[in-house]
Amino acid sequence: MEMPLNPQSVDIVLVSPRNPLNIGAVARAMANFGFARLSVVSPFAPHWREARSAVGAPELLLDARETVTLAEAVATCTLVIGTGTLTHRKAEQPVVSLPSLAPLVRDELAGGGRIALVFGPEKHGLTREDLSWCHLLVEIPTDPRQPSTNLGQAVAVCLYELASRAFSQPVESASQNPEDTADGSARKSVPAAPSGSLELLAGVIEESMLASGYSPETMQAANRHDLRLLLRRLAPNPRDTRRILGLFRRILWRLHHTQNGK
């Protein structure tokens, strides 16, 4: 049976935007292409919801979600896609070109996943720390002499690409729950565990590393960063994430009781 993909399964996330007019331009572009879920992380201006540039989309701004951290904004998403240029950075995650993004989005949504498309602040884009929450980095093709684009324009270009290639045709829905297969294996269409579950797992693994003396204080930030990237590269499904979480909780329990002489 064929079913249409839902653009409301895509969250547009703006990290620390400074100019309310740019936020309004993003809302207008979202409305142009049928997207409605906007999250704004630590906006610089307190009155960004009043941006006059949100022509035809004032309700979208009013309904937008404001969060303190990127982690909170993408917690329910199974595929987090950062945006940017490689002109002044070396990517630590797979890089896809914008024309190659639509098939990845279609596959993820067809399997029941949820997507976040993340854009950085106007001045410098997403930081290395911001990108550690991302499974992929999508590069917008621009002229090397002027690699950066306006925030509203970047969002409009990406959403046009998705609207025209990812949502223009229905997809065949899955007829079987992958977690109910005879051998318990996950089919390709199974979405990865949401970002919030991966962060919970990362926290328990890091606590185990600290309890075992594996992670000295000078390396804790670097290890945390690398662990976040590793889990997103491995992309475990929800069932495997729960199993690994249980394993490390047991290890942590044993470490604490051994240290207490029990």
Same domain, 230 and 145: no
**In the chain, what percentage of residues exceed pLDDT 70?**
89
Residue 101, in any domain of the structure: yes
pLDDT on residue 261? 60
Same domain, 221 and 160: no
Residue range 219-228: mean pLDDT, rounded: 92
What φ, ψ does residue 110 adopt, rounded to 5°? Answer: -65, -30
Residue 168, in any domain of the structure: yes
* pLDDT confidence bin for 104, thresholds 50/70/90: very high
Query: Any idea how long the chain is?
Result: 262
The pTM of this model reads 0.87
**What are 34-43's pLDDT values in tens digits?**
999 999 999 9
First to last CA, the chain: 58
- The angle, 0 to 180 degrees and rounded to 10, between the axes of the packed helices 151-165 and 20-33 is 10
Residue 48, in any domain of the structure: yes
**What are 106-149's pLDDT values in tens digits?**
999 988 999 999 999 988 889 999 999 999 999 888 887 887 78
**What are 58-93's pLDDT values in tens digits?**
999 999 999 999 999 999 999 999 998 777 778 899
Same domain, 19 and 75: yes
Same domain, 167 and 225: no
**What are 10-35's pLDDT values in tens digits?**
999 999 999 999 999 999 999 999 99
Q: Which domain holds residue 243?
A: 192-259
CB-based contact 69:62 (threshold 8 Å): no
Strand partners, 37: 11
CB-based contact 81:133 (threshold 8 Å): no
